[in-house]
Structure 1
């Protein structure tokens, strides 16, 4: 359900107060802390932006998964594109031409006025595989409001010693925890460790047509060469439905020649089925299977489990796919997306 006018008003009021505090003058994005959602119990891990003088606002990384993604980026352990990994809410103060029409309309309906650079509040939802999008639900708007309010409170409490937010145990964070009372919600500070990261279920392909698989096996005349295989988000937004998304792409590349043998674009939920179909179509076309398959991600082998059992190539996990990376860069440039 969309936020009400009252919820939008409260959200903008907290954003305006946050900007007026200029808390980025003494807080950096490394001064992480948490705000617990009184409805879901999930902790949003907050990072105040603006100390570098470029982006001003507040990032709220959702849960342990969101926290891990930003901590790995800050430490240099990960160079993954945040568009495809971050689960977060972002308050930023942008220029007018950076807002969606629906945001400008919302500001007008609320009777608010902003002027100048870095003056216009935006509230964006980041979810893996989706284009960053304005706040969608009442639940998001409500927690966003609480988080901005409590982030300002923590910043003001630590104005003279922001480094007090660094615990001697690097895995422990100061968290604002709500308690419901007759007079409303009361907030307190607690030092807490993140909840254990839940194991993510790997997407599985649908059962392969047994007749098709049997015919493909009979058509095979031998095995030869190396196929490098990968699945990844393509930075080419697809504007379908309510919210644009990034499709997933699979590539199958000949390791010796660098030739792209098969590729495809899919919705995230369909990538396993499309990779299996592409692999089988390639076997049916070439009448042979690879002697070896190389991949950098175990998910590729999880997707292909059924056909790997049928054709029994040697499967290796490797740190690099040199032929595939060259092909990937060329293909994305061809689509006009480029590489980071």
Structure 2
């Protein structure tokens, strides 16, 4: 359900107060802390932006998964594009021409006026695989309002010593915890460790046609050597449905020649089916089965579980896929995305 006008008004009022505090003058994005959602109990981990003088605002990373994504980036453990990993709410103060038309319309309907550079509040949802979007649910808007409010409180409390937010145990964070009373919500500070990360079920391919699988096995006359396989988000947004998304791409590359054997794009929930179908189509076309499969991501083997059980190639997890990375760079360049 979409937020009401009053909920939007409260959210923008908190955003304006946050900007007026200029708390990024003493807080950096490394001064992380949490705000617990009074409704769901989930903790949003907050990072104040602006100390570097480029992006001004507040990121709220949702739950342990969201926290892990940003901490991996801070530590250098991950070089993945944040568009494909971040689960967060982002308040930023941008220029007018950076806002979606619906944001400008909303600001006008609320009777708000902003002028100048880095003056216009944007309130967006970041979810893995989707284009950052200005449409919030009621639940998101309500929590975002609390998070901005409590982030400002934490920043003001630590204006003279922001480093007090660093606990000696790097896995412990200061969290604003709500308590409901007759007079409303009362907030207090507690040092807490993140909840254990729940393992998300890995996407499975649909059952393979047994007749097709049997025919493919009988048609195979030898080994095709090494196939390097990877699945990844393509940085080319697709504007279909209610919200633009980034499709997933698979590549199957011959490890010896570097030739792209198969590739495909699909919505992320269909990538497993697309990869399995492409694998079988290659066996049927070449009448060969790979002797080895190399991948950097274990999910590739989960997607291919049924065909791996049938054809029994040697499967290896490796840190590098030299042939595939070259092919990937060329293909993304062809699509106009380039490589960073």
TM superposition shift of 1:200: 1.7
Structure 1: distance between partners of 2:79 and 2:274: 27
TM superposition shift of 1:223: 1.0
Structure 2: distance between partners of 1:52 and 1:13: 25
Give the structure 2 partner of residue 19 of structure 1: 19
User: Residues 64-112 of structure 1, C-alpha deviation per residue, up to 9 Å, x if partnerless?
Assistant: 0000000010011110110000000000000000000000000000010
Q: How does 1:227-242 map to 2 (within 5 A)?
A: 227-242=227-242
Give the structure 2 partner of residue 216 of structure 1: 216
TM superposition shift of 1:268: 0.7
Structure 2: distance between partners of 1:144 and 1:175: 15
Structure 2: distance between partners of 1:142 and 1:171: 27
User: Residues 113-136 of structure 1, C-alpha deviation per residue, up to 9 Å, x if partnerless?
Assistant: 000000000001000000000132
Q: Give the secondary structure class of the aligned counterpart of 1:281.
A: helix
Structure 1: distance between partners of 2:297 and 2:75: 22
Structure 1: distance between partners of 2:168 and 2:300: 39
Native 8 Å contact 1:249 1:265 kept in 2: yes
Give the structure-1-normalised TM-score.
Answer: 0.99
* Unmatched 5+ stretches in structure 2: none
User: Residues 7-48 of structure 1, C-alpha deviation per residue, up to 9 Å, x if partnerless?
Assistant: 010001000000000000000000000000001100000000
Native 8 Å contact 1:47 1:58 kept in 2: yes
Q: Give the secondary structure class of the aligned counterpart of 1:133.
A: coil
Structure 1: distance between partners of 2:197 and 2:138: 26
User: Residues 162-205 of structure 1, C-alpha deviation per residue, up to 9 Å, x if partnerless?
Assistant: 00000111100000001111111110000000000111211111
TM superposition shift of 1:225: 1.2
Structure 2: distance between partners of 1:167 and 1:312: 50
Q: CA RMSD in A?
A: 0.6
Structure 2: distance between partners of 1:304 and 1:46: 38
Q: Give the secondary structure class of the aligned counterpart of 2:230.
A: strand
User: Residues 195-250 of structure 1, C-alpha deviation per residue, up to 9 Å, x if partnerless?
Assistant: 00111211111110000000000100011311000000000000001100000000
Corresponding pairs, count:
340
Structure 2: distance between partners of 1:314 and 1:100: 49
Q: Which runs of 4+ in 1 moved over 2 A?
A: none
Q: How does 1:182-261 map to 2 (within 5 A)?
A: 182-261=182-261
User: Residues 249-293 of structure 1, C-alpha deviation per residue, up to 9 Å, x if partnerless?
Assistant: 000000011100000001111000110000000000000011111
Structure 2: distance between partners of 1:172 and 1:309: 43
Structure 1: distance between partners of 2:314 and 2:192: 45
Q: Give the secondary structure class of the aligned counterpart of 2:174.
A: strand
Structure 1: distance between partners of 2:8 and 2:205: 42
Give the structure-2-normalised TM-score.
Answer: 0.99
Q: Give the secondary structure class of the aligned counterpart of 2:306.
A: helix
Structure 1: distance between partners of 2:89 and 2:27: 19
Structure 2: distance between partners of 1:274 and 1:76: 32
Give the structure 1 partner of residue 69 of structure 2: 69
Q: Give the secondary structure class of the aligned counterpart of 1:129.
A: coil
Native 8 Å contact 1:256 1:323 kept in 2: yes
Structure 1: distance between partners of 2:129 and 2:152: 30
Q: Give the secondary structure class of the aligned counterpart of 1:338.
A: coil
* Unmatched 5+ stretches in structure 1: none
Native 8 Å contact 1:135 1:141 kept in 2: no
Give the structure 2 partner of residue 47 of structure 1: 47
TM superposition shift of 1:338: 1.3
